Homo-oligomer: A and B are copies of this chain.
Amino acid sequence: MYRVSICLILMCGFCWAQAGSDSQPASSNVRGAEYPRVSSDLRVTFRIKAPDARKVQLQPGGDDNGLGKGPIDMTRGADGTWTVTTPPAVPGFHYYWFLVDGLAVNDPASETYFGYAKESSGIEVPEKGVDFYAVKDVPHGEVRVRWYYAKTTAAWRRAVVYTPAEYDRNALARYPVLYLQHGSGEDERGWTNQGRANFILDNLIAEGKAKPMIVVMEQGYATAAGAAQAPAAQGRGGGQSSAFEQVVLNDLIPMIDATYRTLADRDHRAMAGLSMGGGQTLQITLAHLDKFSWIGSFSSPLRAGLDLKTAYGGAFADAAAFTKKVHLLWFGAGTAEERMLAPALAMSQTLKQAGIENVFYQSPGTAHEWQTWRRDLHEFAPLLFR
């Protein structure tokens, strides 16, 4: 028994040396899983046991997150365990999977995160000196799962609702609401599971940097009752925005205002979203400025060559009227996502030239990934409801 234990310790020591002697299991792993591991220089070591496989590769999701372009060949050990250590990764959350003889498979050592229209593996790479999304010793709000019936779709839907730490203690207080949407292929769980929105808000509120607020996260997919189902588009959001818009306006907002102690007017209602969710945000808010007055577009796909007179139903046509109505218009993008950055910057500048104030935020060094959107939220939320 004694000899076996020593042997196991030596083996373990050997494995960890490969991964960098100062490496730690990723916080995105399932409880107790030793791999993937992140070294202090942010190299990541991935491992999977597949003794009968002929070829095993790492495939990072997203692009330009430092893990490499992929597929990246992994090396087989004598016991059938395949390993690879990447270059230093960009900090933040990255989707990934393995290609085992060409088949995309999840890492059993990773928690799963809904992205790419399926449950995917993910790796959390810490950012040195940055803890705005860490679990800290501050009062924590709750993340509540709320089921409700939407007439638009004639179906039960699941919303995720963040209530600030003080919500249940201040039984008479009412709160402003931020509607916060995920990207294509993700769902209502993304902003808390991948984005850590609840911890970002907990920390901002505890520091007095953001007003206590309710955050509502819904699935950005909807098929109107009686309409033909389009399974592929349904999972990806394509062409379904109109029904989703109806859900937000006619089902979600009324339910939230009836269920929670909200300040139920346009001055206390914000909407923001990332990528597809940012596009939905612009579409919905700009067509309904009677309902929203704080607007955030994070890494959204924007059209080039904006005609201010006709774009978004003419919402920007009268700059003075717009500025009077809208308290905040925000555009954000990562500097490593040129495809989203350039059109967003152009739109921001065009609007400014027309006299429409807006905030433009660039996330340094991050791509079309969650670290960009965590930073967006961290910078955006303090400006709300002032």
Complex Cα distance A106/B100, Å? 13
Distance in Å from the Cβ of A121 to the closest Cβ of chain B?
9
Chain A contacts with B in 88-142, Cβ cutoff 8 A: 100-106, 108-112, 114, 117-119, 135, 137, 140, 142
Complex Cα distance A147/B203, Å? 13
Whether A207 sits at the interface, judged by CB under 8 Å, is no
Contact status A53-B103, CB under 8 Å: yes
Whether A148 sits at the interface, judged by CB under 8 Å, is yes
Distance in Å from the Cβ of A201 to the closest Cβ of chain B?
13
With an 8 Å Cβ cutoff, the count of chain A residues facing the other chain is 51
* Proximity string of chain A (132-165) to chain B, C-beta cutoff 8 Å, 1 when within and 0 when not: 0001010010111111110000001000010000
Whether A51 sits at the interface, judged by CB under 8 Å, is yes
Contacts of A30 in B (CB 8 A): 114, 117-119, 235
Contact status A52-B117, CB under 8 Å: no
Complex Cα distance A42/B226, Å? 27
Q: How many copies does the complex hold?
A: 2
A103, closest chain B residue (CB): B50
* Contact A108 to B101, CB < 8 A, known contacts A140-B147, A232-B32: no
Complex Cα distance A101/B105, Å? 13
* Contact A135 to B119, CB < 8 A, known contacts A103-B50, A103-B100, A104-B108: no
Contacts of A102 in B (CB 8 A): 51-52
Contact status B149-A187, CB under 8 Å: no
Contact status A235-B148, CB under 8 Å: no
Contact status B146-A140, CB under 8 Å: yes
Chain A contacts with B in 220-250, Cβ cutoff 8 A: 221, 231-232, 234-235
Chain A contacts with B in 318-352, Cβ cutoff 8 A: none
* Contact A147 to B119, CB < 8 A, known contacts A53-B103, A105-B105: no
Contact status A106-B105, CB under 8 Å: yes
Complex Cα distance A252/B109, Å? 27
Contact status A146-B142, CB under 8 Å: yes
Whether A3 sits at the interface, judged by CB under 8 Å, is no
Complex Cα distance A19/B140, Å? 47
Contacts of A161 in B (CB 8 A): 142
Complex Cα distance A56/B31, Å? 29
Within 8 Å by CB of A100, from B105, B137, B143, lies B105
25 pairs from A and B in contact (CB 8 Å cutoff): A30-B117, A30-B119, A31-B117, A31-B187, A31-B221, A31-B234, A32-B117, A52-B101, A52-B102, A53-B101, A53-B103, A100-B100, A100-B105, A101-B101, A103-B105, A105-B105, A106-B106, A108-B118, A112-B112, A135-B156, A137-B149, A140-B147, A142-B161, A143-B145, A144-B144
